[in-house]
């Protein structure tokens, strides 16, 4: 009989969890569940991250978040993956584009 890992790991003290956020259930990691069908989630972000979202959304953090999702979708469609260095990917991609432009 196999024992579930969730049953052997102790839960962290409640004082570490935000008071009005996701309630930890036994066996879950800290934070929101990683359910791919979830549409709502809460995350604490820094002031700098909030400024980035607001800038990307022309003053709206919600629109900024959506714009960043669209940007990632476009990057993914041209071959970028999250494990890659964005700067190296862009350098290579821009170099290829410039080479194609010179040929034509």
Residues 55-65, mean pLDDT to the nearest whole number: 96
Q: Kindly indicate the confidence band of residue 1, based on its pLDDT and cuts at 50, 70 and 90.
A: very low
Question: DSSP letters of the chain?
Answer: -PPPHHHHSPPPPGGGS-TTSPPP-TTPPSSS---TT---------HHHHHHHHHHTTT-HHHHHHHHHHHHHHHHHTT--TTS-HHHHHHHHHHHHHHHHHH-
pLDDT of residue 25: 59
| pLDDT of residue 104 exceeding 80 | no
pTM comes to 0.59
**Domain ranges across the chain:** 1-44, 45-104
pLDDT of residue 35: 74
């Amino acid at each position: 009989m196999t024992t579930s890992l969730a049953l052997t790991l102790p839960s962290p003290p409640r004082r570490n969890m935000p008071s009005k956020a996701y309630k930890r259930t036994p066996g879950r990691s800290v934070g929101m569940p990683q359910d791919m069908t979830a549409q709502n989630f809460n995350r604490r972000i820094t002031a700098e991250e909030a400024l980035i979202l607001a800038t990307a959304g022309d003053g709206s953090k919600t629109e900024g978040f959506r714009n960043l999702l669209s940007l990632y979708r476009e990057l993914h469609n041209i071959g970028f993956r999250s494990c890659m260095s964005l700067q190296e990917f862009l350098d290579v991609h821009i170099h290829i584009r410039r080479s194609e432009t010179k040929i034509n």
